[in-house]
């Protein structure tokens, strides 16, 4: 067996069946490649970028117009950031749907969630840096969301340095977080994430529902089997993102003007779902209660009691797959129906106008939400005899489908003053 410095970071041998591309789709490796590209391109951008409201915009213009390959480097940084949101979401779903969160991998799921939060923070803090109209107002909307957090919202806004309006302190704070604190935390957590994979004995071995967990799987040397796969995935991701960056430029609108807000003011697309929720629900519910419930549920997933592990089985069972499909279809129909009902009936009806917003947009939707979730879970457990795994899976499928529908509506179906409209 070969030995070299690189192999100190990798196990000497890996389970043969985990090399199947259809197990992980290379998504974790893609995410790692994108983060490395972000760090490399970010460091290059830092040579020219100036983090002050007066000079930030001009420095980004210098990057794209005067620095050799500056436009390409900025485009790479922009597209890798966007791709990272999608790739991480898919990686998380593959880990979940192959039952790779059971037993020794439980805590790695939690580390993964922390990495996901870091990635969102990196995206949001980076979004402000070009200091154009798009950046300024999108981040204004997002910090307003943060400000709605009951009890701590005001304090958080003070920490962000802006109060009600963004200013020089906000830019300095975001810049420091973006280029130092978040990358260091991410690098540390990624090391921890990879170490935990190794501690768990490698990836889950894919198996059919009828097969037992293979306690002594066949192993093959990491070099060349795993390393070649990792390098080819990294090269393919780099080539794809390079191709996108050559043909599509990252937007740079007019310089930020705190006195002139565009209409509509949109959050970045990965927060469009939250912004859409805010149009329907009381702010305390939309940006606190619901994200809190979602966060607790996601963190708790590996720590629930599962009578049977589904490690390595896609969708837990054939029945689990069918139930997930049903759950996705139900959420796909119900979410747009509820959005339409709220926007076109509740928000315009005279009977609802007299109600307190807390009751109309807070208490009543929460009652409806509990009723639908409780009813769905009870039907699955009692009537369809679903296992804990299958039930948790259906709940996550609903959550993800609702998020996707909210995001699509927020991005494509909202026009001036955030009114519902058909996409042009
Ligand atoms: C920057 C973020 C992340 C990077 C770079 C990363 C990277 C990786 C890599 C390379 C693997 C092994 C192969 C593969 O599955 O493709 C892996 C596995 C894993 N990841 Fe991530 N990941 C990240 C975020 C996440 C997130 C958001 C979650 C879930 C919430 C997660 C949970 C896991 C788990 C539980 C495993 C073990 C899977 C198994 O044993 O089959 N990771 N990750
Ligand atoms: C996961 C890691 C990272 C993510 C997701 C990320 C994301 C972003 C985003 C979305 C932007 C706005 C780009 C645009 O104009 O469209 C940005 C800008 C910027 N980032 Fe990052 N970034 C990351 C890491 C880094 C690192 C490590 C550095 C430096 C060490 C860095 C330095 C910069 C600089 C200087 C800008 C301003 C220039 C510009 O907007 O073109 N970034 N980042």
CA of 369 to the centre of ligand 2 (A): 37
Last residue of a domain, one of 199, 231, 262: 262
CA of 52 to the centre of ligand 2 (A): 15
Cα dihedral across residues 221, 240, 124, 183: positive or negative: positive
CA of 179 to the centre of ligand 2 (A): 7
6 inside domain: no
Mean pLDDT of 113-125: 97
**Looking at the structure, do residues 254 and 294 belong to the same domain, yes or no?**
no
**Looking at the structure, do residues 194 and 57 belong to the same domain, yes or no?**
yes
388 inside domain: yes
**CA gap 111, 99 in Å, rounded:** 16
Mean pLDDT of 391-406: 97
Kindly give the interhelix angle for 388-412 and 70-97, rounded to the nearest 10 degrees.
150
- Which of 24, 193, 204, 399 has most ligand 1 atoms within 8 Å of its beta carbon, as the pocket-test mutant? 193
145 inside domain: yes
Which atom belonging to ligand 2 lies closest to the Cα atom of 39?
27
**Looking at the structure, do residues 256 and 277 belong to the same domain, yes or no?**
no
Tokens of 24: 């992980």
**Looking at the structure, do residues 146 and 250 belong to the same domain, yes or no?**
yes
373 inside domain: yes
1 inside domain: no
Whether 71 is in the pocket of ligand 2, judged by its Cβ within 6 Å, is no
**CA 91-268-182 angle, 5° bins:** 60
Ligand nearest to the CA of 127: 2
**Looking at the structure, do residues 169 and 54 belong to the same domain, yes or no?**
yes
- CA-proximal residue: ligand 1, atom 8 (nearest): 28
C-beta of residue 161 within 8 angstroms of C-beta of residue 170: yes
Which atom belonging to ligand 1 lies closest to the Cα atom of 200?
40
**Looking at the structure, do residues 27 and 137 belong to the same domain, yes or no?**
yes
Cα dihedral across residues 259, 260, 263, 266: positive or negative: negative
pLDDT of residue 354: 85
**Looking at the structure, do residues 234 and 309 belong to the same domain, yes or no?**
no
Q: With a cut of 80, say whether residue 306 has pLDDT above it.
A: yes
- Which of 88, 178, 179, 252 has most ligand 2 atoms within 8 Å of its beta carbon, as the pocket-test mutant? 178
**Looking at the structure, do residues 174 and 308 belong to the same domain, yes or no?**
no
Ligand nearest to the CA of 301: 1
Whether 48 is in the pocket of ligand 2, judged by its Cβ within 6 Å, is no
pLDDT of residue 276: 96
12 inside domain: no
Which atom belonging to ligand 1 lies closest to the Cα atom of 98?
41
Whether 60 is in the pocket of ligand 2, judged by its Cβ within 6 Å, is yes
What CATH number is attached to the domain comprising 195?
A: 1.20.810.10
Mean pLDDT of 374-379: 94
C-beta of residue 202 within 8 angstroms of C-beta of residue 15: yes
Tokens of 45: 């951008």
**Looking at the structure, do residues 90 and 171 belong to the same domain, yes or no?**
yes
Whether 308 is in the pocket of ligand 2, judged by its Cβ within 6 Å, is no
**Looking at the structure, do residues 57 and 107 belong to the same domain, yes or no?**
yes
* Counted domains in the chain: 2
Whether 372 is in the pocket of ligand 2, judged by its Cβ within 6 Å, is no
65-99 pLDDT, tens digit each = 999 999 999 999 999 999 999 999 999 999 999 99
- CA-proximal residue: ligand 2, atom 41 (nearest): 74
**Looking at the structure, do residues 284 and 388 belong to the same domain, yes or no?**
yes
Q: With a cut of 70, say whether residue 13 has pLDDT above it.
A: yes
- CA-proximal residue: ligand 1, atom 5 (nearest): 32
9 inside domain: no
CA of 121 to the centre of ligand 2 (A): 11
- CA-proximal residue: ligand 2, atom 31 (nearest): 42
- Which of 107, 185, 197 has most ligand 1 atoms within 8 Å of its beta carbon, as the pocket-test mutant? 197
155-195 pLDDT, tens digit each = 888 887 756 678 888 999 999 999 999 999 999 999 999 99
Domain that holds residue 105: 20-209+223-262
Bridge partner residues of 132 (DSSP): 255
Ligand nearest to the CA of 40: 2
- CA-proximal residue: ligand 2, atom 43 (nearest): 126
Mean pLDDT of 325-334: 96
Task: Return the residue matching tokens 């069946």.
Answer: 17
CA of 29 to the centre of ligand 1 (A): 8
- Looking at every residue in the chain, the average pLDDT score rounds to 93
* CA-CA-CA-CA dihedral for 215, 221, 225, 229, to nearest 10: 80
190-225 pLDDT, tens digit each = 999 999 999 999 999 999 999 999 889 999 999 899
323 inside domain: yes
**Looking at the structure, do residues 239 and 360 belong to the same domain, yes or no?**
no
């Amino acid at each position: 067996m070969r030995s070299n410095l690189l192999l100190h970071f990798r196990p000497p041998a890996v389970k043969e069946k985990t090399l199947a591309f259809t197990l992980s789709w290379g998504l974790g490796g893609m995410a790692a490649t994108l983060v490395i590209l972000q760090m490399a391109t970010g460091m290059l951008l830092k040579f020219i970028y100036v983090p002050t409201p007066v000079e930030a915009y001009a420095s980004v213009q210098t990057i794209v117009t005067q620095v050799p390959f500056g436009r390409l480097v900025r485009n790479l940084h922009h597209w890798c950031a966007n791709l990272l949101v999608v790739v991480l979401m898919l990686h998380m779903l593959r880990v979940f749907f192959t039952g790779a969160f059971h037993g020794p991998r439980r805590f790695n799921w939690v580390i993964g969630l922390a990495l996901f939060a870091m990635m969102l923070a990196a995206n949001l803090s980076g979004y402000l840096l070009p200091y154009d109209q798009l950046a300024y107002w999108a981040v204004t909307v997002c910090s307003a969301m943060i400000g709605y957090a009951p009890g701590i919202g005001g304090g958080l806004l003070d920490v962000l340095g802006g109060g009600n309006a963004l200013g020089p302190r906000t830019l300095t704070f975001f810049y420091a977080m973006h280029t130092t604190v978040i990358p260091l935390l991410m690098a540390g957590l990624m090391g921890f994430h990879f170490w935990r994979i190794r501690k768990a004995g490698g990836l889950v071995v894919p198996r059919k529902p009828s097969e037992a967990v293979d306690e002594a799987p066949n192993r093959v040397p990491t070099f060349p089997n795993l390393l070649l796969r990792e390098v080819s995935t990294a090269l393919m991701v780099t080539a794809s993102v390079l191709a996108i960056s050559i043909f599509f430029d990252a937007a740079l609108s007019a310089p930020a003007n705190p006195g002139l807000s565009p209409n509509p003011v949109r959050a970045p697309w990965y927060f469009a779902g939250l912004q859409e929720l805010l149009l329907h629900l009381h702010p305390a519910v939309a940006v606190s209660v619901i994200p809190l419930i979602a966060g607790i549920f996601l963190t708790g997933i590996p720590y629930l009691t599962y009578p049977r592990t589904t490690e390595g089985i896609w969708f837990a069972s054939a029945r689990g797959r069918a139930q997930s499909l049903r759950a996705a279809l139900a959420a796909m129909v119900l979410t747009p129906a509820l959005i339409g009902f709220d926007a076109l009936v509740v928000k315009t009806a005279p009977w609802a106008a007299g109600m307190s917003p807390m009751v109309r947009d807070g208490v009543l939707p929460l009652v409806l939400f509990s009723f639908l979730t409780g009813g769905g879970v009870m039907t699955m457990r009692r009537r369809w005899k679903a296992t804990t795994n299958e039930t948790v899976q259906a709940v996550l499928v609903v959550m993800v489908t609702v998020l996707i529908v909210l995001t699509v509506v927020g991005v494509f179906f909202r026009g001036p003053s955030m009114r519902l409209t058909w996409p042009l």
